[in-house]
Amino acid sequence: MICQLKRILVYDAFNAKNNGSSTCVVQVDWFNTLLNYALIMINVATVVLILHRQVDAIPTRFASCICIAFVTAFQLCLCLFIADCVGVSIIWCSTFGWLLMCMQTLSSSPTRTTAPTQPTVARAVAFLDCGAIVFYAVVSDIIGTIAHCLAVVMGIVLWNVATRSNKYSNEAETRIKSN
């Protein structure tokens, strides 16, 4: 299982397996590894550090971190136990879905107080994510493109779950304060 985990985390270029031996040789695909981890960092930074300061309707940073932890666990379990996959692209793709919902919320918010550069940064990151999805659609199997698109949808669904739970907790807090 450790060999499989190494393959997932570093985009094993040659799909190495330990085949029952005590050694595990993993050939790192540096381009894909660095691209995907950079996309994770850029998306998370954009969503958590920039956009979450803007609108009350956006879930808390805590909810964002919980969702990112869930998606990370989902990615690892998917590749370890269900599918023979490598990589961490589901993490940045779902964060991209979350980012899309942040952008939509900010654009429709009547109390929008964003600095002029923040929507521009968000749009640039969204453009980068779209470019990466198109890149992988061209160079990878169709199943990868399907997984990327479904991960974006998963991010949108997680956003809606988190905003709904945030709305209910805010309503409960208001009721408690009024009593």
How does pLDDT run across 26-83, given as a tens digit for each residue? Answer: 778 889 889 999 999 999 888 877 666 665 556 666 777 888 899 999 999 988 888 8
Q: Burial of 22 by CB count in 10 Å (0-12 exposed, 13-18 middle, 19+ buried)?
A: exposed
Which residue, among 74, 85, 88, has the nearest Cα to 15 in the 3D structure?
85
Q: Burial of 141 by CB count in 10 Å (0-12 exposed, 13-18 middle, 19+ buried)?
A: exposed
Does residue 113 sit within a domain? Answer: yes
Does residue 130 sit within a domain? Answer: yes
- Which value, in Å, is the radius of gyration of the alpha carbons in the chain? 19
Q: Which domain holds residue 63?
A: 31-171
Does residue 104 sit within a domain? Answer: yes
| Total domains in the fold of the chain | 1
As beta bridge partners, residue 12 has 28
Does residue 24 sit within a domain? Answer: no
pTM above 0.75, yes or no: yes
